[in-house]
Structure 1
């Protein structure tokens, strides 16, 4: 019961955070990652090697940058974006329309732990900078694996924890002290950006997250630390048989 209450409390808090920061989300991503998030996503897209016509669902899609990149790479495939924040999706919808991709991309407000899609539907299931915010990350990974086709990929791009000193200490000082101050300065939100370092503390490091991919049954799991380990890409493949 206590765990359920804590999960619901986290879900409600995270929802409030993202509803409030939606208008400044893209600006703050650029500032807080020194624009590295664009390079991380480009690296991820190269590793995914999306082919023409392939389909994807992008969870915690936010303002839809990755959703749009998937649609461009696919060209004609079915691309779905899902987020629980109405305000984030509204920003994303505007981007999708500007890109002329509303015929290819469908956006859904929903819960990443209970996806409104049938089994074996997509070639890829992606989640970018959202897995550390969910109440049960293993449940989200299981749902991602459920909705991809046999042979399809589950892909997670997320902030991570540097494993070597002195960079680790410098990074945590920036993340815990400087980042919330920047949030207050540029987005007029201090408490909301204070949540980001808090969300990372309990999150698995890159090796532990790779183990969770394997634990739920994904195969050919790979972990790629990025920019000294402050972010990481994880990929895993759904098996093509029941064994």
Structure 2
């Protein structure tokens, strides 16, 4: 079942890759850049840090991290979609960051990296698309160095009585409509809004972080709760 799920999701993101950036701007009304900027403001990176950006898509967050690093730092952008990574590579080259950005294709639930490898792991708008969130968080925990940070930026659900029905209407009706009009991909964007609606709440994600072993877990919500950034630290004492 998991393999079939992954195959279907792979195909979906391969299909939407050419329109991905434009549709992100349309669906979020451009606010996804603000969410990422606000999240980045809470990340402290040493110039020589080794970072991993999971589910990196077309590479925007990968590039933002790379710009914070010095020439001795490195960020790996990791994704399962070859078409997404192709676009990301074009952006990396255009930004003249090929000296500190490496792009790799693979499965975020089975990371091909050694234990205690990274000073930072980020995952933006990708955790909800993984069939086993706990397995993914366990792998992230494993590859982080003790004392290093996980940052997850993800769509979320507003819980204010006035905002929640508007949000539900927007994602169930408007988002698929935008997919049909602007990208001719109604089914694909119907799926994406479903993953957003059925993803765990921001409170439940805190619990998943803590169950994976992370400490100091906290979050920041954006746009009345339409998105949330979660932060967690791998304990210093954990040397596995």
TM range (shorter): over 0.9
Shift of 1:102: 1.3
Shift of 1:74: 1.2
Q: 2:38 aligns with which of 30, 37, 43?
A: 43
Alignment of 1:1-243 (within 5 A): 5=1, 7-76=2-71, 77-242=73-238
| Structure 1: unaligned runs, 5 residues or longer | none
C-alpha separation between the residues in 1 aligned to 2:93 and 2:237?
A: 39
**3-state SS of 2:230 partner:** strand
C-alpha separation between the residues in 1 aligned to 2:123 and 2:160?
A: 26
Structure 1: which 4+ aligned runs deviate by more than 6 Å?
none
C-alpha separation between the residues in 2 aligned to 1:51 and 1:23?
A: 34
Q: Deviations over 1:194-233 (max 9, x none)?
A: 0112112331100000111001110000111111000000
C-alpha separation between the residues in 1 aligned to 2:160 and 2:154?
A: 18
| Structure 2: unaligned runs, 5 residues or longer | none
Corresponding pairs, count: 238
Q: CA RMSD in A?
A: 1.1
Does the CA contact (< 8 Å) of 1:207 and 1:223 recur in 2? Answer: no
The alignment's TM-score, normalised by the length of structure 2, stands at 0.97
**3-state SS of 1:236 partner:** strand
Q: Deviations over 1:88-122 (max 9, x none)?
A: 00000000010111121110010000111111111
Q: Deviations over 1:43-99 (max 9, x none)?
A: 111011223221210000000000000000012311101000000000000000101
C-alpha separation between the residues in 2 aligned to 1:37 and 1:27?
A: 12
C-alpha separation between the residues in 2 aligned to 1:196 and 1:143?
A: 24
Q: Deviations over 1:123-158 (max 9, x none)?
A: 001100000000101111111111111100011000
Shift of 1:8: 2.2
**3-state SS of 1:50 partner:** coil
**3-state SS of 1:48 partner:** coil
Does the CA contact (< 8 Å) of 2:114 and 2:143 recur in 1? Answer: yes
More displaced 10-residue stretch of structure 1: 155-164 or 42-51: 42-51
C-alpha separation between the residues in 1 aligned to 2:30 and 2:238?
A: 42
